[in-house]
Structure 1
């Protein structure tokens, strides 16, 4: 009886952790947009990554058990991918509604899942995602045409996310759980010069530090901690499907925190991308030999 009584909480707690991680990331992105007038998206990305790296390095302290077999070159590639995902995503949400940007960004992991599969059914998910993207960018006259450069930035973030997954699987074999703090540390070294070149001394203004710390906490430290708690405690397909709901959280965060409204067609486009990502993730995880998701499959929050 004790086992049966404890079983529901053993299932619910990881699901709640993943849900809270997605919500924290989207809330952090919404707060980050409030930094744009002061330092621009480049400066906001630099502040988030640098402060988030300091938080993760202080908590993880990877130097205590430095891996002996990890190659430095893939780790650098992973850090560049992390920097690209966050920088390009911030450039995208400077020009696009939050829900639209995150839906377009999800084309990266969706492409990895679809092209890495040999199932003919995955072509259906690719077509569903393509139809969703068309609804996002090809319709929406009721709310105005979407910014083409913003769409380009979102697709660049998607490509970096795909690279993050492909490179991260290799790096995580050598660095284990230290891959999170080390990759975000490399990303900080990559993106800090970009933020400084754009924002200059304003990047160190004391007035924006509290908001920058909140963004780093909500967008980096909290999601990583929650996902690391959840991933070993739930099946791969469940984790993958739940994280595929993130564009829906983006729509809600944009609506309630930023007052961004989408047309019904654009909401339908987000829903189709979510459905395609969830179905492809479920199908991909079902054929994977591992019982749990790889740390590198999680979003580089």
Structure 2
């Protein structure tokens, strides 16, 4: 095998890894805005500037849009916006890696409920045990903030809705649907940020920081994902993307000084195994569409 062939095989894997790492870095730095503009203000900056970046990159006005597709994009974008809103609300009180692991229950639920394969019961068992170790149940209620967990579960429900609504616009170009979907998401969440943070959002240093966070967590990941999706099957892409909870937990340790217990690391590993296994064995229609990872 020549070095050029090895490099060609490595490129899509490195692209997915780069996408997941960029998301983790972007979200970790976004959380540092919480003391300045709160989680709602941070969501407004992240989603608002992400929409601006993707509008500039994809220029979706180049494509025609039917009324039916426009309505589908409204639902798709609102689900995306609410998911971001709840995810950042969960980050106020629970660690980054834990929040991502809980949120992953949304796409996994969609995969499980749309499949009839026996192997999925194994992945379901992994996910249930993993979430059981994470959720504040019984005597362990003090280990995680219940409000943060509820927001994480709310984000998971919105992620599931986002996937289902996304199927309605799956025939559109990925850049077209994601750019317009994020624009609708921005319209949904920015008013909450303005209401909460007010004029603090207009400080030049805050705007510049938010612009950078949006670039790292949107423009870079979506570009890398497009490279990967051209060379990987949906199953392989899904398996690679299942690294996200571990990368998020690691970024939480390195950037946010968050520390997890051994059981929480085990839970994240179980959720990752469930996500990877589900992606590897699911039928093509149960996979998330291109660029779905940019939504966090």
The one of 184, 187, 190 equivalent to 2:188 is: 190
Identify the residue that residue 76 of structure 2 maps to in structure 1. 78
Establish whether residue 245 from structure 1 lines up as the match of residue 264 from structure 2.
no
**Secondary structure of the residue that 1:233 maps to in structure 2?**
coil
Alpha-carbon deviation of 1:70? 5.6
- 1:31-110 aligned at under 5 Å gives the runs 31-68=29-66, 71-110=69-108
- 1:124-273 aligned at under 5 Å gives the runs 124-138=122-136, 145-273=143-271
1:33-79 CA-partner distances (Å, limit 9, x unpaired)? 11111110000000011111111101111112334586211100110
How does the TM-score come out when normalised to structure 2? 0.93
* Paired residues of 1:11 and 1:234 also in contact (CA < 8 A): no
1:101-159 CA-partner distances (Å, limit 9, x unpaired)? 00000001111111111012211211111111121235899995200000000011111
Identify the residue that residue 283 of structure 1 maps to in structure 2. 281
Question: What's the RMSD between the two structures over aligned residues?
Answer: 2.3
Establish whether residue 300 from structure 1 lines up as the match of residue 295 from structure 2.
yes
> Which range is displaced more, 129-138 or 15-24?
129-138
Change in Cα spacing, 1:120 to 1:39, as seen in structure 2 (3 Å) is same
1:230-264 CA-partner distances (Å, limit 9, x unpaired)? 11211111100011110000110000101101010
Alpha-carbon deviation of 1:207? 2.5
Q: Distance in 1 between matches of 2:109 and 2:253?
A: 28
* Paired residues of 2:218 and 2:294 also in contact (CA < 8 A): no
* Paired residues of 1:140 and 1:266 also in contact (CA < 8 A): no
Change in Cα spacing, 1:62 to 1:240, as seen in structure 2 (3 Å) is same
Change in Cα spacing, 1:67 to 1:31, as seen in structure 2 (3 Å) is same
**Secondary structure of the residue that 1:295 maps to in structure 2?**
coil
* Paired residues of 2:136 and 2:145 also in contact (CA < 8 A): no
* Paired residues of 2:48 and 2:190 also in contact (CA < 8 A): yes
* Paired residues of 2:22 and 2:217 also in contact (CA < 8 A): yes
Unaligned runs of 5+ in 1: none
* Paired residues of 1:139 and 1:266 also in contact (CA < 8 A): no
**Secondary structure of the residue that 2:37 maps to in structure 1?**
helix
How does the TM-score come out when normalised to structure 1? 0.92
* Paired residues of 1:70 and 1:174 also in contact (CA < 8 A): no
Unaligned runs of 5+ in 2: none
> Which range is displaced more, 172-181 or 79-88?
172-181
Alpha-carbon deviation of 1:210? 2.2
Alpha-carbon deviation of 1:175? 4.8
